[in-house]
Amino acid sequence: MKVKFFVKRYIPDIGKEGFDEYEIELTEGLTVLDALLYIKENIDQSLSVRYSCRMGICGSCGMIINGKPDLACHTQVKDVVENGIIKVEPIPNLPLVRDLVTDMSSVFAKHKKIKPFVIRKDEKEQENPVREYKQTPEELLEYLQFSYCIQCGLCISSCPVSSTDELFFEPLILAQAYRFCVDSRDEGIEERLNVVSQSHGVFNCHFAGGCSNACPKGVDPALAIQLLKRLILKRAIGFLKKKKGADIVSPYPEGPNKDKIPKPPPKTV
Amino acid sequence: MKKNLKGFKGWFLPEKRANFERWLFALHRLTGIFLILYLCLHIFVVGSRAFGKESWENTMKLVGAFGKGAYANFVHIFEFILILVIGFHALNGVRLLLTEFGMFLGKPKRPEYPYVASSLKGPRIFMYFLMIVLFVYIIFGVQEFFILK
């Protein structure tokens, strides 16, 4: 069976825009990314596509496939093909560099603003750690789901707020902000809430839920954003408990005297 | 490099297989814009009272609230649509307010595939309930506007 690929092209250097048509043979296990790479190698070398791991971990190959945002590497062609046609477009709401390649630098800049790392008041201890911080499995579950984010940007493509507001902190950024706010080891909740409660921040989200619907990793950014709003509202009415970062695990107990342990027999080979 | 923003199309035209809340968002924006425009009209009409009794009566004649004929019928239907719009916008607003306080959302958990986001489950059931309220509200509206008229 032959499949027709309509790929959105955009090459600013030569002023090329619009869809290009390619026809390739459908083979067993062919993913959309495989098909695009086949086109690049055999039919049209000018096609630009970004990819890295080919197994849904790196989040480079997010694109719109037949109208639905998904990762090209874990979308089987036979699952999404409609009347022998597949239409591939770049992620909207992000600056377009060329063909299917989008520029994520503005997203990463916003990501930096929310301080995506564990903040401790005792920086000296954090820089020279002796042992790990305590954390229960329940405390881990509070944020674990949100830490699966691979920053592919698919949530941005289906967010209606991002479609008109470039400065909006995208769903993935707000989910990361929440992920670090509820981390039991973290002590920087105030700093992060100050950043995300500004204009273009978390309250610009009106819960369309498109991000959670689009997420290929089961992160549920909409849930994180609503819970982040709750944190801010709680803080506003003075109900937010002051959080103390998790304690450090007590130092290793002294082991048995090594001199008393019998030595292994000498090597025979 | 071009911006490639979806623009207003992104508000009103969700992508394929979009979730229910995404359509609620589109309708919420649409009704919101409608209400803003209505508010301008409303203030214009009611504000005419400030210029004296005659001005008020003339405006009332213009919008046909006390008038008769085909024009009055149009205003009547417009008012009924207005009631529907306000009803939807208010009830969806209630859903948004409650979810902002973290209600109906469920807890974060390990995603097990095939995964449906928990934030799209609880609020949706609540919205179905609100839809029933809206439906009852519409029935009363129809009765008030068209049957008991």
- Predicted confidence (pLDDT) per residue in B95-148, tens digit: 999 999 988 888 999 988 888 888 888 888 888 898 899 999 888 888 887 777
Shortest Cα–Cα distance, A218 to chain B (Å) = 6
Confidence at residue A100, expressed as pLDDT on a 0 to 100 scale: 94
Out of B2, B117, B123, the one facing A95 most closely (by C-beta) is B2
Q: How many helical (H) and strand (E) elements, i.e. helices and strands, does chain A have?
A: 10, 7
Contact A210 B22 (CB under 8 A): yes
pLDDT > 70 in chain B, percent: 93
Residue B77 domain-assigned (yes or no): yes
Report pLDDT digits (tens) over B36-49: 999 998 998 889 88
B137 min Cα distance to partner chain A (Å) = 24
Spell out the domain ranges in chain A: 2-101, 104-236
For B1-54, how does the pLDDT look when each residue is reduced to its tens digit (9 = 90+)?
888 899 899 899 888 888 999 999 999 999 999 999 999 989 988 898 898 888
In a domain, B99, yes or no: yes
Q: Domain of B77: which CATH number? A: 1.20.1300.10
Does this chain's domain A2-101 share its CATH topology with A104-236? Answer: no
pLDDT score recorded for residue A27: 93
- Percent of chain A scoring above 90 in pLDDT: 84
What is the count of structural domains for chain B? 1
State whether A222 and B119 contact (CB < 8 Å).
yes
Q: CB–CB of A208 and B25 under 8 A?
A: yes
Question: pLDDT digits over A19-69, tens only?
Answer: 999 999 999 999 999 999 999 999 999 999 999 999 999 999 999 999 999
* ipTM given for this complex: 0.88
Q: What CA–CA distance (Å, rounded) separates A50 from B81? A: 49
Closest CB to A223 among B4, B20, B105: B105
Please tell me the predicted confidence (pLDDT) of residue B102. 87
Q: Is residue B9 part of a domain?
A: no
Contacts of B100 (CB under 8 A, 6+ apart): A207, A226, A229, A230, A233
> Whole-number mean pLDDT of chain A?
92
B-chain CB neighbours of A144 within 8 Å are 108, 110
Residue B4 lies in a domain: no
Q: What CATH number does the domain located at A2-101 have?
A: 3.10.20.30
The tens digit of pLDDT for each residue in A159-169 reads: 999 999 999 99
Domain at A104-236: CATH code: 1.10.1060.10
pLDDT, tens digit (0-9, with 9 covering 90-100), for A93-131: 999 999 999 999 999 999 999 999 999 998 898 899 888
Domain range holding B128? 18-105+116-147
